[in-house]
Amino acid sequence: MNKKLIKFVQTNVSRETGVPLNVDGDAGKKTRAALLRIPQLPNHWETERLVIGYVQYLCTKHNINAGPLDGRWGPQTEQGYEELLGETPSLWRAD
């Protein structure tokens, strides 16, 4: 996993869960704990799968097809992630 992906996940999961995270690109214990607050993510997954699964979950939430929520990085997840990056500023705008 690259730091850019982890920072993206940290920023978004912190906003969604209200868990303050240091957006440092390190998927440590606090990032894992925040990800485990997302009910759609299985708690038995390793942290890497949780990070990828969260990207897939966000895609589904924003009507982007990233394939199944399986925590595995593949072409559909990559395309969905790229679409999310293009939409990120509008995803979290204040209504």
Contact 84, 59 (CB under 8 A): yes
Model pLDDT for residues 8-48, shown as the tens digit of each residue: 999 999 999 999 999 999 999 999 999 999 999 999 999 99
For residue 55, pLDDT beyond 80 = yes
Give the confidence band of 93 by pLDDT, cuts at 50, 70, 90.
very low
pLDDT given for residue 87 in this prediction: 57
CA–CA separation, 88 and 77 (whole Å): 16
For 8, other C-beta atoms within 10 Å of its C-beta total 21
- For residue 1, name the pLDDT band (cuts at 50, 70, 90): confident
Which whole number is the average pLDDT over 65-73?
96
Which value, in Å, is the radius of gyration of the alpha carbons in the chain? 12
Signed CA dihedral, 31, 57, 75, 23: sign only: negative
